[in-house]
Amino acid sequence: MESLLLVFAKTPLLGKVKTRLAETLGQEKALWVYQQLLVKTEGVVQQVFSKVVVFYAGQSASDFRGCFKDFQKKPQQGKDLGARMYHAFEWGFAQGYPKVIGIGADLWNLDQGTIEGALSALDATDVVLGPANDGGYYLIGMRTFHPELFKNKTWSSPDLMRETLKDLQSKRVALLEEKSDIDSYKDLVLHLDLLTRLNQHFDEGKN
C-alpha cells in the first residue's frame, strides 16, 4: 500500500492567514504570500507518489478556489494544532497506510526530494522530523501512530522540537535538513525571490 501525505493548510481568506506577517505587510500582501505558498506546496506534492489528503482549517474547501483541486480534502478537527494533527494521523493509520507524513503549507523551499527523503528515512527509523529554524518542525512522519507527540506541547513556540524529541528518546529518529517556515517578515526576507515577486506584483498593481 502506498504512503500517505497529509497537508495541513488554512483556506486563503483575507485576515485569516499569516497574521504575524500581516502585522508588517498588511492583510492583502500577507494573503498574496500565503496563496503563493499554497501554489508552491501543491506543485511539490503533485510530484510525490504518495496518496495526498489536504486537511484544511476554514469554513469550506471551496475557498481554496482551485488550489489542491485534484486532492481529497477533509476539515481539521480539534481546538489546537496538536489535536488537529492527532486526529489526522489517527485517521491516516486507521486507513491502513504503512507510513504517514504531515507537512504544512508555509515552506517556500519545500521540494520533492525533502518528502521523498522523509519517506525513505522511515524504512529504517520510527519517526522522521524536519526541523524549522524557529524551534518547531515543518515535517513529521512515522510508521506507527505516536499519539504522545501531539499532546502536552507548546505549539508555535521555540520549544516544540525539544519537547517532541524528549518523547522520542527510546525511538529511532531521523532529522532532515533545517528549513525556514514563513510566518513573519523576518522569515520572508530569507527568501528574496518571493519577496521580489511580492513587490513586483503590488508595484504593477499601482500602475
Convert the pLDDT of each residue in 37-48 to its tens digit. 999 999 999 999
pLDDT tens string 31-71: 999 999 999 999 999 999 889 999 999 989 999 988 999 99
Mean pLDDT score across all residues of the chain = 94
Pick the CATH number of 4-206 from 3.40.309.10, 2.60.40.1120, 3.40.50.300, 3.90.550.10: 3.90.550.10
Residue 177 near residue 183, CB atoms below 8 Å: no
pLDDT above 80: residue 74:
yes
Residue 38 near residue 63, CB atoms below 8 Å: no
pLDDT tens string 84-142: 999 999 999 999 999 999 999 999 999 999 999 999 999 999 999 999 999 999 999 99
The answer to whether the pTM exceeds 0.85 is yes
pLDDT above 80: residue 206:
no
* CB neighbours of residue 15 within 10 Å: 11
Domain ranges of the chain: 4-206
pLDDT tens string 152-190: 999 988 999 999 999 999 999 999 999 999 999 999 999
Which of the four pLDDT bands, split at 50, 70 and 90, describes residue 207?
low
pLDDT tens string 126-137: 999 999 999 999
57-92 in b/e form (b: 16+ CB < 10 A) is bbeebeebeebbeebebeebeeeebbebbbbbbebb
